[in-house]
Amino acid sequence: MNDRTITVAADSDSAEKRWIGALREALGDEAGSFDWTSARDSADGEWGAILFVDGDRSDLHRFLGTIDRHGRSVFLIWSDDSRDWDWAGESADRVDDLVVYPFRRAELRSKFRLHQHLRLWSEVGELHRSFNELLGALDEAHAKGVVHRDL
């Protein structure tokens, strides 16, 4: 997964391309530092580390459930400010944050910063799990007498 790739997912190819255009426009010159893909043009494994999902997708909750979240941040494009996202709902843990349309450069930059923080915490969690597995293996080896006490 490329950390500089941004993927947009919507109900149609034309909607994905419109959202990509709007995001690029809001970012201005900075948009050129990212690779942009639409979800329909790439396989799931090729999606970017940042995924913007159209909150008006007809299959939103099903689609959110199919996303491989490992190393990926998911931001919901929210175009109707009169509605509220259900942060207590079943799909809430599949979304990292909302980004409201019309897009603002400062808000998009803050999402990129959030993505960096989420990646760091994910890496810390992976290190913690790996360390716990190592300690468990050492305990097991010690219990079987494979590891000397002096080590």
At 136-145, the pLDDT tens digits run 777 787 778 7
Residue 20 is encoded by which pair of tokens?
């990509």
DSSP for residue 101: S
CA of residue 106 relative to chain centroid, distance: 19
Q: How confident is the model at residue 122 (pLDDT cuts 50, 70, 90)?
A: low
Rg (CA), the chain: 20
Q: Higher confidence at residue 130 or residue 151?
A: 130
| Average of per-residue pLDDT across 11-24 | 97
| Average of per-residue pLDDT across 93-102 | 95
Tens digits of residue pLDDT in 49-83: 999 999 999 999 999 999 998 889 999 999 988 88
In the chain, which ranges are continuous DSSP H helix? 13-27, 60-66, 105-143
Share of the chain above pLDDT 90, in %: 59
pTM above the 0.85 mark? no
